[in-house]
Structure 1
Amino acid sequence: MNFPIQRHRRLRSSAAIRRMVREHTVSTDDLIYPIFVTFGTNVKEEIPSMPGVYHFSLDRLEEEIKEVQALGLPSVLLFGVPEHKDGVGTSAFEENGIVQQATRKIKEWAPELLVIADTCLCQFTDHGHCGVVQECGHGEAVIMNDASLEYLVKTAVAQAKAGADIIAPSNMMDGFVQAIRKGLDEAGFEHTPIMSYAVKYASAFYGPFRDAAHSTPQFGDRKTYQMDPANVREALREAESDIAEGADILMVKPGLAYIDVLSQLKQKYNLPMATYNVSAEYAMVKAAAEKGWIDEQAVVMETMVSFKRAGADMILTYHAKDVARWLKG
Structure 2
Amino acid sequence: MKDIQFTRHRRLRASAGMRSLVRETHLHKEDFIYPIFVIDGENIKNEIASMPGVFQLSMDNLLTEVDEVTSLGIKSVILFGVPYEHDKDEEGTGAFSHNGLVQVATRLIKEKYPELIVVADTCLCEYTSHGHCGVVEGGKILNDASLNLLAKTAISQAEAGADIIAPSNMMDGFVAAIRAGLDEAGFEDVPIMSYAVKYASSYYGPFRDAANGAPQFGDRKTYQMDPANRMEAFREAESDIDEGADFLIVKPALSYQDIIRDVKNYTTLPVVAYNVSGEYSMVKAAAVNGWVDEKSIVLEMLTGMKRAGADLIITYFAKDAARYLDDIK
The residue aligned with 2:52 is 51
2:204 is aligned with what amino acid?
Y
Matches within 5 A, 1:254-269: 254-269=252-267
Q: In the aligned structure 1, how far is the partner of 2:28 from the partner of 2:60? A: 30
**Paired residue secondary structure (1:326):** helix
The residue aligned with 1:285 is 283
Answer yes or no: is 1:133 the counterpart of 2:136.
yes
The residue aligned with 2:182 is 184
The residue aligned with 1:112 is 115
Answer yes or no: is 1:124 the counterpart of 2:122.
no
The residue aligned with 1:9 is 10
Answer yes or no: is 1:200 the counterpart of 2:203.
no
Q: For 1:18-69, what per-residue CA distance to the aligned partner results, in whole angstroms no more than 9, with x for missing partners?
A: 0000000101010000000000100011000000000000011110000001
Structure 1 residues 62 and 3 mapped into 2: Cα distance closer, same or farther (>3 Å)?
A: farther
The residue aligned with 1:236 is 234
Q: In the aligned structure 1, how far is the partner of 2:50 from the partner of 2:4? A: 51
Of the three residues 140, 145, 150, the one matched with 2:143 is 145
**Paired residue secondary structure (1:250):** strand
**Paired residue secondary structure (2:56):** strand
The residue aligned with 1:63 is 64
Q: In the aligned structure 1, how far is the partner of 2:63 from the partner of 2:266? A: 40
Q: CA deviation at 1:2?
A: 11
Q: For 1:74-106, what per-residue CA distance to the aligned partner results, in whole angstroms no more than 9, with x for missing partners?
A: 000000012300000000000000100000000
Structure 1 residues 8 and 99 mapped into 2: Cα distance closer, same or farther (>3 Å)?
A: same
Stretches of structure 2 that go unaligned for 5 or more consecutive residues are none
2:47 is aligned with what amino acid?
E
Q: CA deviation at 1:109?
A: 1.5
The residue aligned with 2:37 is 36
Structure 1 residues 232 and 3 mapped into 2: Cα distance closer, same or farther (>3 Å)?
A: farther
2:108 is aligned with what amino acid?
K
**Paired residue secondary structure (2:189):** coil
Stretches of structure 1 that go unaligned for 5 or more consecutive residues are 136-140
Q: CA deviation at 1:277?
A: 0.3
The residue aligned with 1:138 is none
**Over 2 Å off, 4+ runs:** 1-5
The residue aligned with 2:249 is 251
Of the three residues 297, 300, 309, the one matched with 1:299 is 297
For these two proteins, the number of residue pairs brought into alignment is 324
Q: In the aligned structure 2, how far is the partner of 1:3 from the partner of 1:12? A: 22
TM-score (normalizing by structure 2): 0.97
RMSD: 1.1
Of the three residues 89, 92, 100, the one matched with 1:89 is 92
Q: CA deviation at 1:270?
A: 1.1
1:76 is aligned with what amino acid?
V
2:177 is aligned with what amino acid?
A
Q: In the aligned structure 2, how far is the partner of 1:142 from the partner of 1:184? A: 27
Q: In the aligned structure 1, how far is the partner of 2:140 from the partner of 2:18? A: 58
Q: In the aligned structure 1, how far is the partner of 2:231 from the partner of 2:83? A: 37
- Greater displacement, 238-247 / 3-12: 3-12
Answer yes or no: is 1:27 the counterpart of 2:28.
yes
Q: For 1:97-124, what per-residue CA distance to the aligned partner results, in whole angstroms no more than 9, with x for missing partners?
A: 0100000000012111000000000000
Q: CA deviation at 1:328?
A: 1.0
Identical residues among aligned pairs (%)? 64
Structure 1 residues 2 and 200 mapped into 2: Cα distance closer, same or farther (>3 Å)?
A: farther
Q: For 1:197-238, what per-residue CA distance to the aligned partner results, in whole angstroms no more than 9, with x for missing partners?
A: 000000000000011100000000000000000001001000
The residue aligned with 1:320 is 318
- Greater displacement, 160-169 / 3-12: 3-12
TM-score (normalizing by structure 1): 0.97
1:48 is aligned with what amino acid?
A
The residue aligned with 2:103 is 100
Q: In the aligned structure 1, how far is the partner of 2:5 from the partner of 2:78? A: 51
Structure 1 residues 3 and 276 mapped into 2: Cα distance closer, same or farther (>3 Å)?
A: farther
Q: CA deviation at 1:6?
A: 1.8
Q: CA deviation at 1:269?
A: 1.2
Q: In the aligned structure 2, how far is the partner of 1:224 from the partner of 1:156? A: 23
The residue aligned with 1:270 is 268
